[in-house]
Structure 1
Amino acid sequence: MSGDISGSVEPRFEPVRAAFAAAFEGRPTMGAALHVRLRGHPVVDLWGGVADERDGRPWQRDTPSVIFSCTKGLVSILAARLVEEGRLAYDALVTNYWPRFGATGKAGTTVADLLSHRAGLSAPRDDLRFEDILDWDRMVGILADQYPLWCPGTAYAYHAITHGWLAGELIRRGTGLTVGRYFDEAIARPLGVDAWIGLPAAARGRPAHLQVAASINELWQDEALKPGPNWPFRAMTMGGALPAALATPEGGFNDPRLQAAEVPGAGGIATAAALASIWSATVTPTDGVRLIGPGVVDIATRTQSEGPPFFPAEPPYARWGMGFQLDSEARRYLSPRSFGHDGAGGQVGFADPEAQLGFGFVTNWMMGPEDTRATRIIEALRRALG
């Protein structure tokens, strides 16, 4: 596949090119892109493979793809901006901004609890329909009124999809803009990147077509058979509104209606270059833009949640700051100070403040726990940087 890889790397990063090319081995219909910025400047810019296996459309440099939970990282940048500007406080009660949220035993929930997966709302208690998750007001109303699954602030469990509406509603109330609109005004347009939370009509048809490896379907088939309520399974499916694998050939996040909706827990769409540029701009000026300063980065990346979650799960366990995924055994980044967010199926975006680096890897070939593609690329990058 190495002969089909397009783009360029600076000479010292040739091992990164090799690791990227190796990710395609045995996956003839996979498409992917990789972008790395060092001190604001591109040092790796690669793409290759197939953007849509149905018609053979090749992956181009400007091919965007659904980035799934990488979107949570972008929303966490927005929240950090509001904290830096004094429009939001991590230690404040959510009810200071969103009074209705205090219903049903959640009055003591802080913004930090909400962002760090400690709000007790990781999954809906009631079954939902696909149409429900397209309706912002309905979803934030459901979450505001729901009894928590555990006492907020006392434990954590990954809010796989709900995190986006919870954090996004705080952003909407703090800015008067929808989370997608604020993302466009504060991040995408200043940096001039192809990234959206809510795909505009003008970009419809551009995203890569998602393919799900058999391992993912097998994993979730086993989960579906477990006696209920299986809250982690409900967290992924939103009570039946989504396929557990998040995509089918024409449904889930391959559905243009869902791509157009603002679903900031999983529905962002971006190029690899956009992801890398955004994360770069959190730690160093990038194309004249610095998104957040080192002071708020330090606060936002302090560990809030780690270790075994509320619902039993096998290690390794992730580690979370104020919405940011931190370096851990579950997701190794460049260094212990790196922060970002990965996404279902293999997507990864992160920043490293010591190296002043931004990283973006996106792919339409979705894999499960056996996936080592991004991990091996990051290992090659670490070696190249010495």
Structure 2
Amino acid sequence: MSETPDVHGHIDPKFERVRDELAAQLDSGNELGAAIAVDVDGELMVDVWGGFRDAARTLPWERDTIVNVWSTTKEVTALAVLMLADRGLVDLHAPVATYWPEFAQNGKDDIEVRHIMAHTSGVSGWDQPFELTDMYNWDTSVEHLARQAPWWEPGTASGYHAQNQGHLLGEIVRRVTGKHLTQFVADEIAGPLGVDLQIGAGPDDDARIAEVIPPPPLPIDIAALPTDSPMFKTFTGPVASAAAANTIEWRRADMGALNGHTNARALVRTMSVISRGGTVDGVQLLTEKTIDQIFDEQTRGDDLVLGVPLRWGIGFGLPEPATVPSLPDERICFWGGWGGSITVMFPLQKMTISYVMNKMAPGIIGSDRSEAYTRAILAAAG
């Protein structure tokens, strides 16, 4: 397929098929605006973008466009906690209450940090009543989580902490460092690496943020679920709204599970710290020993919230061919966001890939588009 002027940036000739795939998705209308990046041992082999950042197709997606990446944000939050573990400030196997004493209420005294990192804590959402806008108030939302009881026996199974993982881990970060997650990421990750990455977004960035186009409804009849099931409680505590990501209130909040604002180039450089052994261009964030802990499998089986087979290490998903068939079952870690964004780390190849977009696809874990881009990248990489 020939190039289209709708795709911009640079690409190593070896990866030309990735540009072709993005062009095809843009031409078909499946994609509105998107960016893809591939880093191989510090060399940016792919850095392309195209399409539009608004539904009216009047504003082109530009080099510095950023977008809400939903749960791909969780990778950045996990990185923050791993950095604290690397520094000896957090023990991943210690009870959360070691750092956040109030969390021990209502039978949560034995829940460990790794349980939250691997979505096995039993605290996968907020007990009702709790509205989406309540997430924007840090103190209220974390106090609420500290009071409630787990919804299943911690450590026995995963139940995706869809909207609250950033609050749970962020409060640990705050208790240990004195900084909110937003500030920690700015000071300790984005600043040192020189990347365009934020939890939330500031007023100066509003004009360059891509408009989020909500997906079709989730293929789940929530009303038909048992009201005491983790799936029902998570999807209603609170009810998610894709359109909320376009509001100023959402952008200004500190939500490490949901509202990272960035682009593929920044994500691929940030998360390449895992693929490249902990150091990016002289900036060391992790050691190999800490990176190894990511791959310590915590759980494998049907997730109690998403209802599909998942395999969790500490802070990241590990390959599960039944759910993410494009990823080979080897030393790989990844996660993605509602609508299809994704970042994947391949330490054996020292390769990192990232894709972000604004037109959300159905489903929660990847999309047909992210699968197509991933397959094209892996085929090109050989």
Would you call these one fold, judging by a TM-score over 0.5? yes
Structure 2 matches for 1:143-154, cutoff 5 A?
143-154=145-156
Q: Per-residue displacement from partner, 1:77-123 (whole Å, max 9, x unpaired)?
A: 11111111000011111111111111001111111112111111112
CA spacing shift, 1:21–1:47, aligned 2, 3 Å: same
Equivalent position SS for 1:217: coil
Structure 1 residue identity aligned to 2:247 = D
Equivalent position SS for 2:280: coil
User: Is 1:362 aligned to 2:364, yes or no?
Assistant: no
Counterpart residue number, 2:227 = 228
Structure-2 separation of matches of 1:186 and 1:200: 18
User: Is 1:254 aligned to 2:249, yes or no?
Assistant: no
Equivalent position SS for 2:168: helix
Structure-1 separation of matches of 2:53 and 2:170: 30
Counterpart residue number, 1:272 = 264
Aligned alpha-carbon RMSD (Å): 2.0
Structure 2 matches for 1:126-275, cutoff 5 A?
126-213=128-215, 216-217=216-217, 219=219, 222-226=221-225, 228-229=227-228, 231-240=230-239, 242-243=240-241, 247-248=242-243, 252-275=244-267
Structure 2 matches for 1:317-332, cutoff 5 A?
317-329=309-321, 330-331=323-324, 332=326
Structure-1 separation of matches of 2:329 and 2:381: 11
User: Is 1:303 aligned to 2:305, yes or no?
Assistant: no
CA spacing shift, 1:90–1:342, aligned 2, 3 Å: same
Counterpart residue number, 1:378 = 374
Q: In the TM superposition, what is the alpha-carbon distance from 1:224 to its structure 2 partner? A: 4.0
Q: Per-residue displacement from partner, 1:342-372 (whole Å, max 9, x unpaired)?
A: 1100100122111111221000010114931
Structure 2 residue identity aligned to 1:321 = G
Structure 2 matches for 1:34-53, cutoff 5 A?
34-53=36-55
Alignment gaps of 5+ in structure 2: none
- Structure 1 residue aligned with 2:332, among 333, 338, 344? 338
Does the Cα contact within 8 Å between 2:125 and 2:164 map onto a contact in 1?
A: yes
- Structure 2 residue aligned with 1:350, among 341, 344, 347? 344
What percentage of residue pairs aligned between the two structures are identical?
Answer: 31
Equivalent position SS for 2:246: coil
Structure-1 separation of matches of 2:47 and 2:328: 18
Does the Cα contact within 8 Å between 2:230 and 2:304 map onto a contact in 1?
A: no
Equivalent position SS for 2:130: coil
Q: Per-residue displacement from partner, 1:114-165 (whole Å, max 9, x unpaired)?
A: 2111111112221212331110111111111001111212222111011111
Does the Cα contact within 8 Å between 1:283 and 1:292 map onto a contact in 2?
A: no
CA spacing shift, 1:49–1:325, aligned 2, 3 Å: same
